[in-house]
Amino acid sequence: MLSDYIRDCVLLLRTGRLHFLIAGFLLYLIGALFAHRLGASLDLQVFLTGYLICGAAHLSVSYSNDYFDRFTDDPGIKTRFSGGSGVLPIHTHLAGAVVLTALLLSLFSLGTTVLLVLIGFFPAFLIAFVAAGITLGWVYSAPPVRLAGRGLGEVATMAAFGIFLPGGGYLFTAWTIGLEMLTLIIPFFFLGLFFIVSVELPDCTNDSKTGKRTLVVRVGRTRALIIATLGAAATTAVFLVLAAFGPDSGYFFAAAAFASVVPLSAGIAAVYSARYRILTIEKITENNMRSLILFSCMVAGYLLLWS
pLDDT tens string 13-34: 999 999 999 999 999 999 999 9
- Residue 249 reports pLDDT greater than 70: no
Q: Is 219 exposed, middle or buried (0-12, 13-18, 19+ CB in 10 A)?
A: middle
Global confidence as pTM = 0.95
Cβ-contact 151, 218 below 8 angstroms: yes
* Distance (Å, whole) CA 5 – CA 232: 44
Domain boundaries, the chain: 2-306
- Residue 2 reports pLDDT greater than 80: no
pLDDT value for 212: 86
pLDDT value for 223: 97
Q: How many CB atoms lie within 10 A of CB 210?
A: 15
pLDDT value for 82: 84
* Distance (Å, whole) CA 174 – CA 34: 9
Count of positions (residues) in the chain: 307
* Distance (Å, whole) CA 32 – CA 50: 10
Residue 123, SS3 per DSSP: coil
pLDDT tens string 104-146: 999 999 999 999 999 999 999 999 999 999 999 999 999 999 9
